[in-house]
């Protein structure tokens, strides 16, 4: 039902800030800020600027865990 869906921004927040908050870890996870664990991915496009149909075409360019790059897409 259209009235029950969430936006891309809401979905990203649910998987990042809200999930950190739910685990009582919002002080160390959930957002990109100094002093927080740097576990994140870098995408080839901004998912909040895409249509829902385009989301499936997102590509991961890099994965960072603990502030270090652990995977990078080959050029």
Q: What is the pLDDT of residues 5-34, one digit of tens each?
A: 998 999 999 999 999 999 999 999 999 999
C-alpha distance from residue 62 to each of 29, 40, 53, 70 (Å): 18, 8, 23, 8
Q: Would you say the pTM of this structure is higher than 0.85?
A: no
pLDDT of residue 40: 93
pLDDT of residue 21: 97
CA distance 12 to 35: 21
Neighbours of 29 (CB within 10 A): 16
């Amino acid at each position: 039902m259209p009235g029950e869906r969430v936006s891309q921004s809401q979905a990203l927040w649910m998987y990042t800030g809200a999930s950190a908050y739910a685990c009582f870890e919002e002080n160390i996870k959930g957002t990109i800020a100094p002093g927080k664990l740097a576990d994140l991915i870098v995408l080839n496009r901004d998912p909040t600027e895409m249509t829902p149909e385009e989301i499936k075409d997102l590509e991961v360019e890099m994965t960072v865990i603990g502030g270090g790059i652990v995977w990078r897409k080959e050029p």
